[in-house]
């Protein structure tokens, strides 16, 4: 291999790659190849070794074991890394981490262009192209610190691409970004791949993003579990997913969990991965497990998602142990009779900051024992609404009640009745597990006896027995989040507010967290209001409110929201084609605005709801773009979110 980027089909080759931090082995014996022109994905939890590999590939981190080549150059010295740095673009993990807060969008781009020695006569054209592609061209003068999370990430990508690198390395670029901005981000990468032949190495904690990649490496504990195309990886753990709806959900969950550890409550359903069975076998197995209690239940069988396969692989290799949570007994009676009193009621809430309306006439209701999801793009007003309901921020207009107390006048009475877990700050990292719990107990005024009782409850609920003396900073992310939840619940609130509670948590940790929320709502009657950017998590909610520009624009169950979109736009169609980028371009030309590339697949909502799979396949053939297959697929909550928000954006542009 030579230093010529076009001389070899390989851009990156790792052989026995290993990285240590002191006594900690972060990566061990990793073998990997990234081919020219592909988007290669690294998927795994925090601590899997993704960032270490990416920084080493970018030439900014040394390593102790094995060999790492980029563009045929062995990265065994600073001089070697220097020789290839002009062909590489690195975007580190974290919103806006490679940007300067006080500089405007244009000033940030110009700074990186000068840093990368971009010729002045080429800068203007490149900048205009990239800013238009990311829809940032209208905000050139806005300071970076005033951008939403999605805009920061898109600006970070522009700055990474301004010198036209041949190999871009993006470390969790979509974490904390709303689904619309995520789709924009992936569309930009797909276009770069098509027009410039760029190669991308991308890490993500979103398992549902795997379909965007050409190939994927599943990582855990510093090693690769498997490498291949997404469709190939889905075949690695044989089995099916059975969803059970109807009947008594908690009893169904407990009964199935006795024999099948990979089980979860998902909205009104119980969803279980049944090992080593086909569709008929999986259905029969769950019917046997329920042992006559399946009357009145509906069973639906489907192929597993990649997240199901990933968790099954970890479980089968005994890398994780799945233990369905059992809440320890609490003093408050389970599923109390609240006499019809609403847990949360917002009535026309509004909040202005000068001339800016952060929240505008927001109304919704949350019942006791309900998991309520508040969804919206970055800057939609979700956090403002939560701060008003929790008494942190006074509303400009409207009113509301939380746990039977008036949010305007109740003062500390509301704080006694609610728990709050913020995304940015919930724990004191230098304090131990026990010290964090006791601190929160003291804040809420619990006496010594009650503090001992609730501390034991939190430790058991969060699975932290034996870890009382460990500092919060030393806990894995999943355990840290469960500790934060326990601290928010130490005083037994009637309502708990959770702001992006699982951001950055691995799939196993997220499932455990949601299992606990389900038990709290069903067994203790606690109302849960949660915000999330994981649209797959929205499926866990009983009810959803979708916010846009400070207003609630949809208010329904997940199933109700999907049905509404299907009535308006028809069924989601999936196109399998040997020419996916050309197919997408043709759909856009035909006015199919709601179309997106998913790796080698294209997903689209018809411009005409009457168009079905057979009609579309015929039209593609007539256009010289024969499809291997076109099939209807169920809508996801991400599809619903993107459809609603982009439709509202289009209306505003036309107004």
- Asked whether 546 and 376 are in contact (CB, 8 A), the reply is yes
* 510 pLDDT higher than 90: no
- Tell me the mean pLDDT in the region 163-183: 85
Domains and CATH numbers, the chain: 10-232 (3.40.50.300), 238-303 (3.30.70.270), 344-556 (3.40.50.300), 559-654 (3.30.70)
* 423 pLDDT higher than 80: no
Q: How far apart are the first and last CA of the chain?
A: 57
- Tell me the mean pLDDT in the region 151-173: 89
Cα separations in angstroms, 469 against 1, 438, 480: 53, 12, 13
Question: Taking phi first (over 0 means left), then psi (-120 to 50 degrees means alpha), and beta for anything else, what does residue 2 get?
Answer: beta
- Tell me the mean pLDDT in the region 327-339: 55
* 1 pLDDT higher than 80: no
pLDDT of residue 338: 53
Cα separations in angstroms, 306 against 43, 217, 236, 311: 11, 12, 10, 9
Of 402, 373, 398, 404, nearest in space to 389 by CA: 402
* 152 pLDDT higher than 90: no
d(CA 14, CA 57): 9
Return mean pLDDT, the chain. Answer: 87
- Tell me the mean pLDDT in the region 453-471: 90
User: DSSP H helical segments within 104-259, as ranges?
Assistant: 105-115, 120-133, 149-161, 179-196, 230-233, 249-257
pLDDT 10s digits, 276-291: 999 999 999 999 999 8
Backbone angles phi, psi at 366, to 5 degrees: -125, 130
pLDDT 10s digits, 370-390: 999 998 877 788 888 998 998
**CB-side neighbour CA atoms (13 Å) of 570:** 19
pLDDT of residue 512: 85
């Amino acid at each position: 291999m030579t230093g010529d980027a076009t001389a070899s089909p390989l851009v990156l080759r790792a052989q026995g790659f290993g990285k240590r931090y002191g006594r900690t082995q972060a990566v061990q014996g990793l073998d990997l190849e990234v081919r020219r022109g592909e988007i290669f994905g690294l998927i795994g939890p925090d601590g899997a070794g993704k960032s270490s590999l990416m920084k080493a590939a970018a030439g900014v981190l040394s390593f102790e074991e094995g060999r790492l080549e980029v563009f045929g150059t062995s990265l065994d010295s600073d001089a070697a890394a220097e020789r290839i740095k002009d062909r590489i673009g690195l975007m580190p993990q974290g919103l806006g981490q490679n940007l300067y807060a006080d500089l405007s969008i244009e000033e940030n781009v110009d700074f990186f262009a000068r840093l990368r020695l971009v010729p002045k006569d080429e800068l203007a054209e490149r900048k205009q192209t990239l800013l238009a592609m990311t829809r940032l061209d209208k905000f050139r003068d806005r300071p970076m610190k005033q951008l939403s999370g999605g805009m920061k990430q898109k600006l970070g990508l522009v700055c990474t691409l301004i010198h036209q690198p041949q190999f871009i390395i993006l470390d969790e670029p979509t974490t904390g970004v709303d689904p619309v901005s995520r789709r924009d981000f992936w569309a930009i990468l797909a276009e770069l791949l098509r027009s410039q032949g760029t190669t991308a190495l991308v890490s993500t904690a979103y398992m549902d993003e795997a379909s965007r990649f050409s190939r994927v490496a599943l990582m855990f504990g510093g090693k690769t579990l498997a490498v291949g195309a997404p469709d190939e990886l889905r075949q690695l753990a044989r089995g099916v997913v059975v969803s059970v709806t109807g009947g008594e959900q908690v009893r169904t969950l407990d009964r199935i969990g006795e024999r099948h550890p990979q089980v979860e409550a998902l909205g009104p359903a119980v969803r279980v991965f049944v090992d080593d069975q086909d569709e008929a076998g999986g259905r029969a197995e769950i019917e046997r497990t329920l042992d006559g209690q399946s009357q009145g239940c509906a069973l639906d069988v489907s192929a597993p998602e990649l997240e199901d396969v990933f968790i099954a692989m970890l479980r089968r290799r005994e890398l994780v142990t799945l233990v369905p949570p059992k809440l320890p007994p609490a003093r408050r009676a389970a599923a109390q009779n609240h006499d019809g009193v609403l847990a949360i009621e917002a009535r026309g809430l509004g909040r202005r900051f000068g001339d800016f309306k952060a929240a505008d006439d927001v109304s919704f209701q949350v019942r006791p024992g309900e998991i309520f999801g508040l969804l919206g793009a970055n800057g939609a007003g979700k956090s403002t609404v939560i701060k008003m309901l929790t008494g942190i921020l006074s509303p400009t207009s409207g009113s509301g009640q939380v746990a039977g107390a008036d949010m305007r006048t109740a003062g500390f009475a509301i704080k006694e009745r609610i728990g709050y877990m913020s995304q940015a700050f919930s724990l004191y990292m230098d304090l131990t597990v026990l010290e964090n719990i006791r601190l929160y107990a003291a804040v809420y005024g619990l006496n010594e006896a009650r503090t001992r009782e609730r501390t034991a409850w939190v430790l058991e609920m969060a699975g932290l027995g034996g870890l009382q003396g460990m500092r919060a900073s030393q806990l894995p992310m999943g355990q840290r989040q469960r500790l934060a939840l326990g601290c928010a619940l130490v005083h037994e609130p009637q309502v708990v507010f959770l702001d992006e509670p699982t951001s950055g948590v691995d799939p196993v940790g997220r499932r455990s967290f949601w299992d606990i929320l389900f038990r709290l709502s069903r067994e203790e009657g606690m109302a849960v209001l949660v915000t999330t950017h994981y649209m797959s998590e929205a499926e866990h909610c009983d009810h959803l409110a979708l916010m846009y520009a400070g207003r609630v624009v949809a208010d329904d169950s997940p199933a109700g929201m999907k049905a509404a979109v299907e009535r308006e736009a028809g069924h989601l169609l999936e196109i399998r084609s040997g020419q996916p980028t050309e197919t997408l371009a043709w759909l856009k030309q035909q006015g199919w605005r709601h179309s997106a590339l998913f790796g080698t697949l294209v997903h689209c909502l018809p411009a005409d709801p009457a168009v079905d799979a057979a009609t579309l396949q015929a039209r593609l053939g007539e256009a010289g773009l024969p499809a291997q297959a076109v099939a209807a697929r169920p809508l996801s909550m991400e599809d619903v979110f993107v459809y609603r928000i982009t439709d509202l954006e289009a209306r505003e542009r036309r107004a």
